[in-house]
Amino acid sequence: MKRFDDVKASYVTVRIEAVEIEKILNFLWNKNVDVRDIKNNNKFSVDLKIELKDYKVLREGVKKARGKLVVLDRKGMKFFFMHLNSRKFLVAGIAAFFFVLYYLSTFIWKVDIITERYLAPVEVRNMLKEYGIDVTKKKTSINVVEVEKALVRDFDEIMWIKVRIEGSKLSVEIKERQEPPKIKEKPDYTGNIVARKNGIVNRINTISGTPVVKPGQVVNAGDILIQGQEGKETMEFQVMAEGKVPSTVFYEEILEVPKTYVEKERTGNKKVRYGINVNNKIIYLGKSLNNFVNYDKIETKWGIFIREEYFETEEVEKTVETDGIVKDLQNKIYLNLDRAAKVLSVAPEIEDIGEKNRIRVLVTVEEDIAKSEIAPPQTEEQSEEDSANP
């Protein structure tokens, strides 16, 4: 009990400086003041600790002895509350912060939706909005059981659902119904897979039909790659061939360009003439004449006043930059490629043919060259003939 009283009490450690220290201590003891931790500094100075409630009594005794009192330390809850009382706005701000924090925690600030394969989270989110559930919705107004029932009712894809409020987040987890695999019906037509362009076969990925080419084989446009036929020996039957044939395909662009071209450039020489326009006739001021053979002219008008600038030019022969032309030819090839095509290499080649350069760009790509070729449907008579003549 005494230890609890020590905790809740507030103490002041002071230093007393006076000629008659004993007189002050006797005064305190006569007033039943609990004096602790007395420490003599010298003959005229002592440190001690008393409770806050006895501080006025101590100050009265020191005053009577004409001494000096200095507070060294303060401890206890009363001092803490006194400190807070002097900072009312700080306390009010902290209280307001925690109140706002608590108030905001009563709302939903995030909606987390987890689905599987077919049902898009945005569809579930839009449906929740129709229910009036979105961010800034008060948590106490959401009945998760009713939300689960409503979502199951509105989405046939849902097999199992769990809606939970976790802190300030609404979590929706959905398990979808698994449909049985669809049995692929046999098509009413047959056909082969043929090459839609020239190339070198890399791989053959067959879904149905029988491959008739091998990796590394060179094929031309129109060649059969996968035959629309399955079975063995006398048990063969016609199908619609399906598959992909990734192959190496070469694209080439050739362009002949001159080695040089002539461009007009300014030499830096310049002349200026001023004039006045009178009845559409220009009267020039001064004797400045334009004696340039080749020049650019810039004319500026301010009402009737005219200013003419002449810049001397000359023809300069320049070499054609082939890098830009190679890039243009390469881009031209890229524009005609399929989106799934993979570029393997780009090989530019420049050949000197006299006054011109022949620029050749060869782009090597890998792409699927398979194309379906549907065979006309067979009549019953044709089927019987095929059966009779295997």
pTM greater than the 0.95 cutoff: no
3 state SS of 303: coil
Reported as a single tens digit per residue, the pLDDT across 165-185 is 998 899 999 998 876 666 555
Q: 337-352 burial, b if ≥16 CB within 10 A, otherwise e?
A: eeeebeeeebebeeee
The pair of three-digit structure tokens given for residue 82, joined into one six-digit string = 């006194």
Q: How far is CA 209 from the centre of its chain?
A: 45
Ordered structural domains, the chain, with CATH:
2-82 (3.30.70.260), 110-176 (3.10.20.310), 190-243 (no CATH), 261-318 (no CATH), 320-368 (no CATH)
Closest listed residue to residue 167, CA positions, set 107, 79, 119: 107
146 phi and psi, to 5 degrees?
-70, -35
Cα–Cα dist 215/312, whole Å = 66
Across 185-203, average pLDDT: 83
pLDDT the model gives residue 283: 78
- Cβ(186)–Cβ(242) under 8 Å? no
Q: List, for residues 374-389, the tens digit of each pLDDT value.
A: 876 555 455 455 544 4
CA 196 to CA 249: how far, in whole Å? 11
- 330-383 per-position pLDDT tens digit: 999 988 888 888 999 999 998 888 888 899 999 999 999 998 888 765 554 554
Per-residue CA distances from 386 to 176, 234, 254, 379, 389 (Å): 49, 11, 50, 11, 5
Q: What is the pLDDT of residue 387?
A: 47
Give CA–CA dist 195/213, Å, rounded. Answer: 11
Instruction: Give the pLDDT score at 231.
Output: 79
> For residue 1, is pLDDT > 50?
no
**What would the pLDDT profile of 82-92 be if each residue is shown by its tens digit?**
666 666 777 77
Distance CA 354, CA 348 (A): 19
Q: Over pLDDT 90: what percentage of the chain?
A: 18
